[in-house]
């Protein structure tokens, strides 16, 4: 029966990886795989277990209890992401990100490369790497008219955004998963990964700056900029970013789960959004009289733009991995893997390289079930770095890459030929830096 379950998981995994070839949204196989796995477990009355990390052993439990446990952990991540996505959409509602464009004055390609790389690195640590990529490529399209030149910039933005998301608990979905699962803490995550992440950006950007593609100046973009800048745009940008950054502080002070702090931040940002838009606060009302006000509410409009397919994908894939974890299969696989490859660093680097081929969310979800090391063990931080930055090696290896691919119609093989080797240089350099520094961090 375990062979059947693993086969279903592998088939579902392949369908997720080949979503562009099959032209089927990845949420469909994720949800189907999750439901089928749990149905087989229930119908065959298979024994389920909870991993006791303190004793490093499996403890028998009931299917209702373990399913509710995993649903609760998954819901924490989903609610957290919903809050963060809504705050970002509210900032965008007021066109707050256009404020960033005003900082860009130079015409030098090399200088622009460093500016966009630094912006991607910083922004992705605050608003996550996916959103940072969308924002910066949108700005890039307004600054650089030549598409061939933009492709090179977009490639380096992907590398920088993924590296920036790795060292922040709110910068990448996989890092957020480890943070919410109490595998890493904010201060230790920054201590372990900030310098390796900087190296992961600096090395490829420096090498790229020597290439012919970044020589000379950019040509003026003749396209008209018809953006209407809201008078509260910059205020909402700084307020929204500050609210998101406040979430780890809230967790440190209260010791409550991160989604509680994110909901508080959303409430604060929503309040100012409603005041600035001159509409009454009417987030929950559904009566007919409030319909017109709700239509113009920035909160309602922002909520309607949330990418629900991604949310449902996380639900499906995390509960599918949880099914294998509950059977003790991931725990056993980890022991087999550690026996076959005693060097854990090699295992984690292979995980990072694997995340370039297949989605890093299930890889990290699986690693959480595979390893039982205590909180802030260097292993968890290395997993965060590898899964976060390894995806840059292929255009389909990260959410940032996929969205850039869609926005700029980047060809898979063009990226593989021109950008992948730069991403590999960054990944290896950052990994070696991590291994050198972790002994000095207590």
Residue 252 included in any domain? yes
Residue 288 has pLDDT above 60, yes or no: no
pLDDT digit string, tens, across residues 43-70: 998 888 876 655 456 777 888 888 998 8
User: What share of the chain has pLDDT > 70, as a percent?
Assistant: 89
pLDDT digit string, tens, across residues 221-230: 555 455 556 6
Residue 146 included in any domain? yes
Q: pTM (2 decimals)?
A: 0.75
Q: What is the mean pLDDT of residues 79-88?
A: 85
3-state secondary structure string, 152-220?
HHHHHHHHHHHHHHHCCCCCCHHHHHHHHCCCCCHHHHHHHHHHHHHHHHHHHHHHHHCCHHHCCECCC
Give the DSSP letter of residue 394.
Answer: S
Q: How far apart are CA 439 and CA 442, in angstroms?
A: 8
Q: Are strands 57-61 and 48-52 parallel, antiparallel or unpaired?
A: antiparallel
* pLDDT at 280 (0 to 100): 46
Backbone angles phi, psi at 60, to 5 degrees: -60, 145
Residue 292 has pLDDT above 50, yes or no: no
Residue 289 has pLDDT above 70, yes or no: no
Residue 313 included in any domain? no
Residue 59 included in any domain? no
Q: What is the mean pLDDT of residues 415-429?
A: 92
* pLDDT at 293 (0 to 100): 45
* pLDDT at 114 (0 to 100): 93
Higher pLDDT, 197 or 100: 197
As beta bridge partners, residue 217 has: 108
* pLDDT at 204 (0 to 100): 95
Residue 234 included in any domain? yes
* pLDDT at 263 (0 to 100): 93
Q: Which long-range contacts (CB under 8 A, 24 or more apart) does 54-61 make?
A: 56/372, 58/328, 58/331
Q: What is the mean pLDDT of residues 241-256?
A: 88
pLDDT digit string, tens, across residues 20-41: 778 888 789 889 999 999 999 9
Q: What is the mean pLDDT of residues 125-136?
A: 84
Which among 438, 394, 435, 392 is positioned nearest to 413, based on CA atoms? 394
Place of tokens 């745009």: 233
Report yes or no: 152 and 404 within 8 Å, Cβ to Cβ. no
* pLDDT at 138 (0 to 100): 81
**What's the domain count of the chain?**
1
Average pLDDT of every residue of the chain: 83
Q: How far apart are CA 181 and CA 369, in angstroms?
A: 11
Report yes or no: 164 and 124 within 8 Å, Cβ to Cβ. yes
Three-state secondary-structure class, residue 48: strand
Residue 384 included in any domain? yes
Residue 7 included in any domain? no
Residue 53 included in any domain? no
* pLDDT at 57 (0 to 100): 63
* pLDDT at 225 (0 to 100): 52
Residue 442 has pLDDT above 70, yes or no: no
Residue 141 has pLDDT above 90, yes or no: no
Q: Residue 71 is part of which domain span?
A: 64-307+328-440
* pLDDT at 116 (0 to 100): 92
* pLDDT at 413 (0 to 100): 85
């Amino acid at each position: 029966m375990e062979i059947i379950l693993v086969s279903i998981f592998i088939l579902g995994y392949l369908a997720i990886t080949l979503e562009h070839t099959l032209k089927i949204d990845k949420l469909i196989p994720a949800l189907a795989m999750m439901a089928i796995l749990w149905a087989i477990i229930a119908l065959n009355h298979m024994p389920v277990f909870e991993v006791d990390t303190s004793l490093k052993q499996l403890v028998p439990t009931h299917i209702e209890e373990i399913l509710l446990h995993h649903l609760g952990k998954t819901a924490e991540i989903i609610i957290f992401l919903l809050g963060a996505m809504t705050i970002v959409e509210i900032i965008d509602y007021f066109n707050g990100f256009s404020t960033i464009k005003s900082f860009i004055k130079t015409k030098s390609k090399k200088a622009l490369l460093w500016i966009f790389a630094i912006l991607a690195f910083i922004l992705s640590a605050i608003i996550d790497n996916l959103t940072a990529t969308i924002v910066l490529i949108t700005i890039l399209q307004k600054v650089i008219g030549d598409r061939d030149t933009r492709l090179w910039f977009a490639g380096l933005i992907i590398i920088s955004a993924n590296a920036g998301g790795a060292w922040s608990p709110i910068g990448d979905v996989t890092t957020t998963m480890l943070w919410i699962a109490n595998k890493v803490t904010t201060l230790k995550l920054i201590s372990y990964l900030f310098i390796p992440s900087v190296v992961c950006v600096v090395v490829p950007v420096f090498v790229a700056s020597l290439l012919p593609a970044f020589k000379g100046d950019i040509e003026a973009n003749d396209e008209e900029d018809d953006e209407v800048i809201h008078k509260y745009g910059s205020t909402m940008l700084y307020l929204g970013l500050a609210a998101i950054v406040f979430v780890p502080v809230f967790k440190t002070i209260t010791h409550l789960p991160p989604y509680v702090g994110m909901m508080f931040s959303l409430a604060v940002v929503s309040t100012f959004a409603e005041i600035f838009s001159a509409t009454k606060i009417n987030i929950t009302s559904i009566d007919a009289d409030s319909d017109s006000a709700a239509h113009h509410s920035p909160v309602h409009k922002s909520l309607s733009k949330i990418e629900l397919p991604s949310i449902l994908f996380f639900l499906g894939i995390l509960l599918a991995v949880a099914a294998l974890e509950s059977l003790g299969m991931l725990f056993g696989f980890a022991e087999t893997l550690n026996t076959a490859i005693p060097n854990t660093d090699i295992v984690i680097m292979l995980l990072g390289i694997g995340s370039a081929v297949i989605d890093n969310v299930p890889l990290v979800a699986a690693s959480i079930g595979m390893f039982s090391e205590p909180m802030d063990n260097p292993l968890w931080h290395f997993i965060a770095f590898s899964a976060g930055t390894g995806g840059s090696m292929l255009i389909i290896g990260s959410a940032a890459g996929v969205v850039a691919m869609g926005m700029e119609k980047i060809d898979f093989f063009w990226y593989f030929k021109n950008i992948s080797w730069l991403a590999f240089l960054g990944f290896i350099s950052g990994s070696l830096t991590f291994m050198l520094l972790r002994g000095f961090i207590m």
